[in-house]
Chain A
Amino acid sequence: MDELIKRAKELLEASAVKVVIGYEQGTGNKTRALFVEKPEDAGKLVFDSRCVQNLAAYVTKQEVKSKGKMAITATLPVMRSLVQLASEFQISDNNLVVIGITPDSKIIDFKNLEEVEAFVHQFQIEIDERNKEILEKLEKMTPSERWNFWIEELSPCIKCYACRAACPMCYCSRCTVDFNRPQWIPVQSTELGNLEWHFMRAMHLTGRCIDCDACANACPLALPINLLTKKMIVDAKANFGTYQPSLKGENVLSTFKPDDKENFIQ
């Protein structure tokens, strides 16, 4: 990815940014996040199909923000996350440069976040076939079977909150699970507590999740927690129309239509 390295070097040499966020070779056959602060370190940057971590999770972190203006290598899911974060006033053109990587691995430059938004809107957020099948299978079960399925699937959860750490949308400085007065969710791993935690996580991501699967990839126990957010995306599409992150900030749950249709309120 010579072009990416060249671009990062240019930005750092011109002092346009203080740090470039990208991927480097990690241990084993994995890549990990890299924060390049010196032009001579830009050579460490790599990019290939293993780079699935959502780097947008770093742009809201105080440790990274305090370095100054950043540049970020952004694949399509990362760009979507950035648009969503911008709509929530977490980032702006003043503190971020986006080095886009198109789905066919071409470098693309953006002048501002509006351009990123325009690019992102060329692609629909679609649930892949494999997960669609699993969702359909689950929907065919009886509620009781689904209950047992989730209690069982989520019972190994050790509450490490890797899913939360990996998610660019989970940037609250104090998460509901960290509260102990009142204690919404028990600290220890319990059947109901695990269910409540994943229920809450999915609800908080409703209308904001852009389906990057970072949560499921980060889970050390490989729990299918992304199914919950996928289900929310399917529902949001069915109930409220198009589903795209937008700078206007029209999230599913932060807006409404006076004629929203439901069939269960008496």
Chain B
Amino acid sequence: MAEFEPKIVAFVCNWCTYAGADLTGTSRIKYATNVRIVRFPCTGRIDYMLLLKAFDEGADGIIVSGCHPNDCHYTSGNFHARRRWMTFRSMCDFMGIDTRRIKFSWVSAAEGAKWADIVNTTVASIREIGPYDEYKKVAKKPVKEENHG
């Protein structure tokens, strides 16, 4: 059997982390290819239902990242998001959703190296924990066979 390749979905904000991830690329920093980046206007826009849907669709891990506090393009989007993640995370924990699989971070547009590090450590830790079988077992869709052509 081939080695387990974690599927990671990253929800990032347009102004900081997306630009930061872009910088990682333009700086020619290599990082794990397991991550699929979804760009949002702001972390404040990220509905927690999207995170649940990512698991539903077969993700093994999730990264949520945006501007550092006080750096939000819309002034307070990330402050609202922070409160939402505090309640969301404890709700996940209370319902038994594995919180080790959801990573939150602040990555600015200048932190290309930090982004590579976040992705690499997340992939490594998910690789260690293994696929999210518990969730996939009850997910509505049968998990498709991996096909990295």
> A residues touching B (Cβ–Cβ < 8 Å)?
138-139, 143-151, 176, 184, 186, 190-193, 195-196, 199-200, 202-203, 206-207, 228, 231-232, 235-236, 239-240, 252-258, 260, 262, 264-266
Contacts and interface: CB of A to CB of B under 8 A. Distances in A.
Contacts of B49: 176, 184, 196, 200
Given A196-B52, A199-B52, A262 B86 contact: yes
B96 A193 contact: no
B70 A235 contact: no
Interface secondary structure of A, over-half rule: helix
Contacts of A266: 103-106, 118
B38 interface: no
Given A190-B140, A192-B138, A192-B139, A260 B96 contact: no
Contacts, number: 107
Nearest to B95: A150
B94 to A, nearest CB: 5
Nearest to A251: B83
Contact of A256 (B79, B94, B135): B79
A148 B91 contact: no
A186 B91 CA distance: 20
A193 B140 contact: yes
A265 B83 contact: no
B110 interface: no
B99 interface: yes
A265 B82 CA distance: 9
A260 B79 contact: yes
B31 interface: no
Contacts of A254: 80
A144 B91 CA distance: 14
B25 interface: no
B96 A147 contact: yes
5 contacts: A192-B138, A232-B87, A258-B70, A260-B83, A265-B82
B3 interface: no
A206 B97 CA distance: 18
A145 B93 CA distance: 11
Given A192-B56, A193-B140, A265-B106, A203 B91 contact: yes
Contact of A258 (B79, B94, B97, B140): B79
A148 B86 contact: no
B33 interface: no
A139 B97 CA distance: 13
A235 B94 CA distance: 11
Given A143-B98, A147-B134, A260-B82, A228 B91 contact: yes
A231 B94 contact: yes
Cβ-closest 9 pairs across A and B: A147-B96, A146-B96, A256-B79, A266-B105, A192-B138, A191-B138, A265-B104, A143-B96, A235-B90
Interface in B43-70: 48-49, 52-53, 56, 69-70
B96 A253 contact: no
B76 interface: yes
Contact of A265 (B88, B90, B93, B105): B105
B85 interface: yes
